[in-house]
Amino acid sequence: MTASSESSRDSKSIIDATMKEIRKQLLPKQQFRVISKDLRKELSERLNTSTESMLPSTLNILRLYKDNNDLLHPYNHNKILAIDFGGTTLKIAVIKTYPTLCIDFLHTLDIQERHVDSKFFENIIQAMVDEMKDKFFDFFYDNDLINNKIIKIPVSITFSFPLNSKFQITSMGKGYILSDEIKDLNFLKFLQDTFDKVCSQNTIKDSFAFIIKDNLIINDSIAVHLTNTYIKQFPTVTFFTDSYPSIPASSSSTLANSSGNSISFILGTGTNASFEIPFKRLPELKRDGISNAKTNLPFDDDSTVVMNAEMGFLGGNCIDLTEFDYCPAKGAKAMPLEYISSGRYISSILVKILKKYPTLEPVLAKQENLEDIIDGATFGKLSNIQDNFDLNDLTTQLQNKYNITEQLHLIPLSRVAKIILQRSAIYLVAAILEIDALVSEYKVGAYHKISIGYVGSTLAFNKYYRDQIEKISNSRIQLVLLQDSSLFGAAISTLL
């Protein structure tokens, strides 16, 4: 045996031993049924007592279940300005509501700042107006302008952070730091005031005003759920144009023809889910909160309520966080499921593992900007490596982008990335199945199928992640991508 082959064998043994140690640290110690039991108990407790998760929306979606076309009729000027504040980006869209629900214009702004104060939102709205001010006349022109009337543009907002019944921000994850001046504000009124302030400083103030009506700030998971439900009720209505093919006909057909509970799922920068339960199943404290809200229709025992699970908070009793997982600041509310599953955190888990075990890939381990190299996109590509083409393509990309001349050996990192996602999928599947059981009041069979409309780049671009969720669920969970559903859902909330 040559010295080279012996060294190679020793290296493989070290990698295998390291991989075994990593699997032992990351993968759950409990059996799946024990995890499910813990999550079932936690879901029930949060439904009945929590003020930060399992929160009912004040939107009454009864109109979505009526067999009529009233919902499709023009609203105001047949156009809605929809905004999706999702985390790392802000999406602005002009949504046409009739005769089809589709995007007429779409623009994305990157958000770099992470300190959230009043100026943070003012700067975002100013940037949006700067981008759109020359386009408002194109999209919202009306004869009212001739009569010197100010056109009131309906604004619907999807906000990817939890709000309580008083429209106060209860917490912010995804790397944001919430300032004290924002915490106790009525966020809906604050945004309306900020829109008014920014608008007054621009030339459009004599022609246009932005109106955020009651209840038109919704959570991203609820926005996806409204889109999901809309598709099931109006399967013949298209959601796309040639310019913005957001929701393919195949996705609409899959959801329209699916049976069983309607659950919507988000796995991007954050992790969340939404679903419906009867109003009568809410505890008194949550029933009182939405009964007193301003809604188009009263809630009664026969109404269904859209629940925002704030799923990231789950797992306090069953997820064992390791030294590689995110550690929240002292006093911050822990979000165990989000820390181990969302795009905001999973790549950093791999970075920390590589720093502790540099033999996995010595060349990358010594790079000073390792967090930039192994970002969300690279993590996704590592976990999706299936053949030499995938491997060689990623190797070349990293070498060229970061001027790395030494040979890279990415297979060990790919194996670790897969372990990280296996761990994530186990807990996610357990949580989704328990949410489905909760909706069904625990009357579902072992082979009950669940079609889930979802959104989120982390899951959308990671086939291995999706495959693991399907595999661990024994093919019970079918994931259907609803791209831009946060924007469509915001518009639908205006129609209700």
CA dihedral 271→276→282→286, nearest 10 degrees, is 60
> pLDDT value at position 184?
79
pLDDT for the residue numbered 179: 76
pLDDT, tens only, 355-402: 999 999 999 999 999 999 999 999 999 999 999 999 999 999 999 999
**pLDDT the model gives residue 7:** 57
What is the pLDDT at residue 390? 94
Give 52 or 43, the one with higher predicted confidence: 43
Q: Looking at residues 8-36, what average pLDDT do you find?
A: 91
Q: What is the pLDDT of residue 161?
A: 72
pLDDT of residue 364: 97
Q: With bands split at pLDDT 50, 70 and 90, how would you rate the model's confidence at 242?
A: low
Is the model more confident about 423 or about 232?
A: 423
pLDDT of residue 172: 65
Q: Residue 222 has what pLDDT?
A: 85
- 484, pLDDT greater than 60: yes
Its pTM stands at 0.84
Domains of the chain: 62-246+488-495 (3.30.420.40)
Range 425-454 average pLDDT: 89
Average pLDDT across the chain, whole number: 84
The percentage of the chain sitting over the pLDDT mark of 70, rounded to a whole number, equals: 85
Q: How sure is the predictor about 336, in pLDDT bands with cuts at 50, 70 and 90?
A: very high
Determine the straight-line distance between the first and last CA of the chain, rounded to whole angstroms.
75
Is the sign of the CA dihedral 89, 125, 121, 219 positive or negative?
negative
pLDDT of residue 294: 55
Dig out the tokens for 461 from the structure: 């671009």
Where is mean pLDDT largest: 86-95, 256-265, 313-322? 313-322
Q: Has residue 72 got a pLDDT over 60?
A: no
pLDDT attached to residue 212? 84
pLDDT at 215: 57
Q: Please, which pLDDT band fits residue 407 given cuts at 50, 70 and 90?
A: very high
pLDDT value at position 207?
A: 80
Which range among 66-70, 86-90, 313-317 has the greatest average pLDDT? 313-317
Whether the pLDDT of residue 143 is over 60: the answer is no
Q: How confident is the model at residue 297 (pLDDT cuts 50, 70, 90)?
A: low
Q: Quick one: pLDDT at residue 157?
A: 87
Half-sphere exposure of 399 (CA within 13 A, CB side): 12
SS3 sequence, the chain? CCHHHHHHHHHHHHHHHHHHHHHHHHCCCCCHHHHHHHHHHHHHHHHHHCCCCCEECCCCCHHHHCCCCHHHCCCCCCEEEEEEECCCEEEEEEEECCCCCEEEEEEEEECCCCEECHHHHHHHHHHHHHHHCCCHHHHHCCHHHCCCCCEEEEEEEEECCCECCCCCECCCCCCCEECHHHHCCCHHHHHHHHHHHHHHCCHHHHCEEEECCCCCEECHHHHHHHHHHHHHHCCCCCCCCCCCCCCCHHHHHHHHCCCCCCEEEEECCCEEEEEEEEHHHCCHHHHHHHHCCCCCCCCCCCCEEEEECCHHHCCCCCCCCCCCCCCCCCCCCCCHHHHHHCCCCHHHHHHHHHHHCHHHCHHHHCCCCHHHHCCHHHHHHHHCCCCHHHHHHHHHHHHHHCCCCCCCCCHHHHHHHHHHHHHHHHHHHHHHHHHHHHHCCCCCCCCCCEEEEEECHHHHCCHHHHHHHHHHCCCCEEEEECCCHHHHHHHHHHHC
Range picked from 85-99, 167-181, 428-442 for highest mean pLDDT: 428-442
Question: What pLDDT is attached to residue 137?
Answer: 79
pLDDT computed for residue 323 by the predictor: 96
Q: Quick one: pLDDT at residue 142?
A: 60
Question: Among 258-267, 403-412, 479-488, which stretch is predicted with the lowest mean pLDDT?
Answer: 258-267
Of 106, 52, 17, 55, nearest to 486 by C-alpha is 106
If pLDDT is split at 50, 70 and 90, which confidence band does 171 have? Answer: low
